[in-house]
Amino acid sequence: MQNSLLDTIEEAIEEIRQGKIVIVVDDEDRENEGDMICAAESITPEIVNFMVTQGRGLICVSLPERRCQELDLPLMVSNNTASYKTAFTISVDLKGDDCGTGISVHDRARTIRALADPTTRPAQLGRPGHIFPLIAQAGGVLNRPGHTEAALDLALLAGFSPAGVLVEVLSADGSMARLPELRQLADRFALKVVSIKDLIAYRRSEY
């Protein structure tokens, strides 16, 4: 039975396909948070600014392990002791292409697009930087029910290259926004809200 606070995965895929943001929530017994997600190929300075002002979390880019290897992006630490083993690589900024310090929304949008561009080479990326690549597990949410994998899965399902943008959504007081508040935020900005649980079910139904 569909949760009344949630939209369907089909609706979310169509939103991503149109270059829009969706909010993805995980289970209460996991991180119990919502992330704004879009395809990296469709990122714009305006979307980055929206993520900064309305999401308030850390902007990351989900990539396959092979792509991170091609871009010479090693893991941030060799011994990951974080609770959910999120696979952060070293952070990056795009060098050149009219980029400044890397922190402006225009610079961050260019860096994100560069990470999604298969022609980008390691020498074009400065390390460290202001965008945080994450290595998604092969198999996506079917192997790890995390936002990292959900971002990549949704980008692929929408027909984009395997690169997704994600940012945690915080409340105005800095605490984590939970589902009722996320639904209110989504309604205010006409965004869809879906769950990783439903994305897993959708992926399984494909087979």
For residue 86, give the 3-state DSSP assignment: coil
Q: What is the pLDDT of residues 150-207, one digit of tens each?
A: 999 999 999 999 999 999 999 999 999 999 999 999 999 999 999 999 999 999 998 6
Burial zone of 17 (CB within 10 Å; 0-12 exposed, 13-18 middle, 19+ buried): middle
The structure tokens listed for 3 are 């949760």
Map out the domains of the chain with their CATH numbers. Answer: 9-205 (3.90.870.10)
Q: What confidence score (pLDDT) does residue 88 get?
A: 95
Tell me the binding residues for Mg(2+): 31, 147
**The total number of residues written for the chain in this structure:** 207
In tens, the pLDDT along 22-75 reads: 999 997 666 579 999 999 999 999 999 999 999 999 999 999 999 999 999 999
For residue 63, what are the CA distances in angstroms to 35, 117, 155, 185, 198? Answer: 16, 11, 11, 27, 22
At 11-28, the pLDDT tens digits run 999 999 999 999 999 976
The one-letter amino acid code at 178 reads R
Q: Provide the annotated binding site for D-ribulose 5-phosphate.
A: 30-31, 35, 144-148
How far apart CA 178 and CA 1 sit, in angstroms, is 20
Q: What is the dihedral of CA 29, 30, 35, 38, to 10 degrees?
A: -120
What does pLDDT average to over the chain? 95
Tell me, what's the pLDDT at 4?
A: 79
Quickly state the pLDDT bin for 82 (edges 50, 70, 90).
Answer: confident
User: Using CA of residue 49, residue 147, residue 164, residue 70, what is the dihedral sign?
Assistant: positive
Beta-bridge mates of residue 203: none
Between 147-157 and 196-205, two packed helices, what is the crossing angle to 10 degrees?
A: 50
